[in-house]
Amino acid sequence: MSPTPQRLQITAASPDPALLDLPWDVPLEEWPAETLAALPRGISRHIVRFARLSGRVIAIKEIGETVAYREYELLRQLSRIDVPSVEPVGVITGRRAPDGEPLEAVLITEHLQFSLPYRALFSQSLRPDTATRLIDALAVLLVRLHLAGFYWGDVSLSNTLFRRDAETFEAYLVDAETGDLHDKLSEGQRAYDLEVARVNIIGELMDLQAGEFLEDDVDAVAIGNALAERYTDLWRALTEVETFGYGERWRVQARIDRLNDLGFDVGELDITTDVDGTTVHIQPKVVDAGHHSRRLMRLTGLDVGENQARRLLNDLDEFRAATDRQAEDESFVAHDWLTGVFEPAVRRVPRELRGKLEPAQVFHELLDHRWYLSQQQQRDVPMKEAAKSYVKNILPNRPDERSILGVQAGDIRETAQIPVLPDDEIIG
Amino acid sequence: MASVTFDHATRVYPGTERPAVDALNLHIEDGEFLVLVGPSGCGKSTSLRMLAGLEDVNAGSIRIGDRDVTDVQPKDRDIAMVFQNYALYPHMSVADNMGFALKIAGTPKAEIRQRVEEAAQILDLTQYLDRKPKALSGGQRQRVAMGRAIVRQPQVFLMDEPLSNLDAKLRVQTRTQIASLQRRLGVTTVYVTHDQTEALTMGDRIAVLKDGLLQQVGTPREMYDTPQNVFVAGFIGSPAMNIATFPVMDGHANLGRTRIPVERSIIDAFTEEDRNHLTMGFRPEAVEVLPANTPDAIPVIVNIVEELGSDAFVYGSLTNEFGGAANVHSGAGDAQVIVRVDPRKVPAKGETIGIKIRNGEQHLFHAGSGERF
């Protein structure tokens, strides 16, 4: 008897025919190991798997049809307004098992290269300030989402992916299931989102402690509260009205500088004066994240994270000073720095180790390593030497962070999906 | 526990003219399970969000108990949004999962334990309190999520289409759990759904909204038996009510050859807008099935017969010679009717049957405004 034919419905912006080769007639939980990529997964109330597709890795989530379409559309909108989020690939419905039993719809998203769920970061070498760095990144993400009018509804570390950005992280939204895009968010919405974030993060950290991934002496509640503080500070810096006397106009530039420092460009600044002209009010109306990454892109064509850009720009400035070329046009110096410093350094990483870290991140670590060697040896270690030492001693011991095609679908570091049991069956 | 009052509550989205919620007046009793239901865009979710503090209130006010909460932050309103997000923490016990929000708030340990145990008892989770979530079934994990909201002992539970994310089997299971849980707890609950069957089975009372306006609020029985306007009549009940508009002449409503007498008092109440027409509705079960040529019976050609074992429904069209056939609407479409028939005596496809609305089971509405007479 021939199996019930599949009548798959694939909704995708640019459908990849290779999608048809994946085993859609099998429940996602039971997919064979050869189709999967061994990647660390976070906690999810749905079944999630990673698979390889045409040289990239996709994330597949089994959820209800209506929810899948809704989330797909939201993710598309989010990427259009340039908010850090995963790229949606498509929705597949109409799945059936060979015996005709209907299977859940799936939402497919691109796996963010070099990104990690927070649990994986904690199960690696545990740095005491990792938690704080993640919180900072999440605060920035939440502010950017709220500025764009996006209400998340379920802010948590589990719904976020983190990518190294120099000494810190950049956070990306992964789950938009409970989200909603508005023209502008009300105070109540922002406050609620923030409160949900605070409670969820505390819970997630407490869970890590319960699982002994995080020391007991880490104050989870304090970290959750820190998120609320950072968010509020950043939000205020980006949106509040500042009032000063007419003679203090330097404050306008100071405000713009402060925002630039935080990584934001000011697109629009509202300036009003009182009737008698003695008091000035300023309020940023449009702010765009990525001040440093944009500047670096303009100068060198490199597309990197905000903090990575800041670091590279610092190195560029040092190069400029060291070669005594401050009077020259910035773009010429930048070009020379790119071809003479950055690229040769990064090229020293042998091919087989390139899956470990993004190039900009490698460079950042090279700079750190060079500084460390110089301190140790009490001399200025040239980049060539530092790179050699780094490639030999440091990089090979770093875990791969791109993505690995795996035979092992189960990764020990992964704290997986809670298994679904038939009702009332209990494992002892 | 407290009552909830919407007092001329209005929400107008910036840049729009028509309010998303238009001067809503609704009082929900302490301990009541009220369902807000209506088609997509009717304002039900917006109303719920106004109550939660997630939507600005542009006019009017909202009270929880005696307290005006219109300008109060969501976290200070003492409400709990259930099912918004429930990820169970795998390394914590079920008890810790349920109680951790209280732990964060600094509630004393003993009190946390007490509240958790109380909630667990109501949820039939007592024996799992010290287990890890992975030892629980899907239904049980849902209940842990509810437990999280319960231990906070809020005054009101808010639920916004909580079953939409669930697979079909879990949906039915959870629906029953929520209803019985609410009865045991007695906490005022406001529940939003677009599914009228869900509304009818779960609510103490149902409030139907359309285009931001409250159409009617009442018990499921009231809504089913006495819909106040054509919209509610067609929205509540499945299969939907058959609704037809007839011209009225000589004290009779005329649909082609069939003439149905209309009471004098109804005709006297006609408005100019009605233009001597009458809108009549009848539920599929409110008819007698008779031979096609019975005088004053409406002839119906049988298109499809749906046999459900305990029930059977005929989907039929009105014969075309009447011209007025297009004025009839039902769940089956224009000029179609749905009629319940004896499952042991189903007519054949293509056969013509006659239907007569049983006395007293017709619903009469103004042809102009749609309001009930």
pLDDT at B317 over 50: yes
Element at B96 (helix H, strand E):
helix B94-105
pLDDT at B323 over 80: no
Min Cα distance A41 → chain B (Å) is 13
Residue A211 burial (C-beta neighbours within 10 Å; 0-12, 13-18, 19+) = middle
pLDDT at A421: 35
Q: Which of A192, A196, A199, A232 to mutate to test the interface with B (most CBs of B within 10 A)?
A: A192
pLDDT at A414 over 70: no
By the CB < 8 Å criterion, does B105 face chain A? no
CA atoms lying within 13 Å on the CB side of residue A395: 26
Min Cα distance B305 → chain A (Å) is 26
**B124-136 average pLDDT score:** 91
- Edge-to-edge, what's the strand order for the sheet holding A88-93? A9-12, A88-93, A105-110, A56-63, A47-53
Closest residue in B to A183 (Cα–Cα): B14
**Among residues A111, A88, A108, which one has the least CA distance to residue A19?**
A108
pLDDT at A16: 86
Which residues 240-279 on chain A approach chain B with CB closer than 8 angstroms?
none
Query: Per-residue pLDDT tens for A119-169?
Result: 777 655 446 677 788 888 999 999 999 999 999 988 988 889 888 888 888
Query: Per-residue pLDDT tens for A318-342?
Result: 888 888 888 888 888 999 999 988 8
By the CB < 8 Å criterion, does A424 face chain B? yes
By the CB < 8 Å criterion, does B264 face chain A? no
Least confident of A107-111, A417-421, B166-170: A417-421
By the CB < 8 Å criterion, does B295 face chain A? no
Query: Per-residue pLDDT tens for A27-63?
Result: 998 998 888 887 766 667 788 898 988 888 899 999 8
Q: Which residues of A touch B141 (CB under 8 A)?
A: 418
pLDDT at B54 over 50: yes
Q: How far is CA B120 from CA B113, B124, B127, B147, B266, in A?
A: 10, 6, 9, 7, 57
Q: A3 falls in which pLDDT band (50, 70, 90)?
A: low
CA atoms lying within 13 Å on the CB side of residue A81: 18
Rounded CA separation B131/B169 (Å):
25
Tell me if the pTM is above 0.80: no
By the CB < 8 Å criterion, does B59 face chain A? no
Rounded CA separation A144/A234 (Å):
10
Q: Which of B12, B54, B107 to mutate to test the interface with A (most CBs of A within 10 A)?
A: B54
Q: Give the pairing of strands B252-255 and B258-261.
A: antiparallel
Say which residue the tokens 């600005």 belong to.
B56
CB contact under 8 A, B164 and A67: yes
A275: DSSP letter: T
Query: Per-residue pLDDT tens for B286-316?
Result: 999 988 888 878 888 999 999 988 899 999 9
Query: Per-residue pLDDT tens for A258-283?
Result: 888 888 888 888 888 888 878 888 88
Q: How far is CA A170 from CA A141, B172, B250, in A?
A: 8, 41, 78
**B314-320 average pLDDT score:** 82
On average, the pLDDT of chain B sits at 88
Min Cα distance A270 → chain B (Å) is 21
- Amino acid identity for residue A145 in this structure: L
By the CB < 8 Å criterion, does B85 face chain A? yes
Rounded CA separation B94/B52 (Å):
27
Which residues 138-157 on chain B approach chain A with CB closer than 8 angstroms?
138-141
pLDDT at B207: 96
pLDDT at A420 over 70: no
Collect contacts of A217-224 with beta carbons under 8 A, ≥24 apart.
Answer: A218/A131, A221/B104, A223/A131, A223/A132, A223/A135, A224/A197, A224/A198, A224/A199, A224/B104
Task: Give CA torsion, residues B87, B90, B96, B98, to 10 deg.
Answer: 30
- Residue A293 in tokens: 């990454």
B289: DSSP letter: E
Residue pair B289/B341 in contact by the 8 Å Cβ criterion: yes
Query: Per-residue pLDDT tens for B77-86?
Result: 999 888 656 6
Q: Which residues of A touch B87 (CB under 8 A)?
A: 43-45, 156, 158, 200
On average, the pLDDT of chain A sits at 83
pLDDT at A138: 92
Q: Which of the two residues, A352 and B43, has the higher pLDDT score?
A: B43
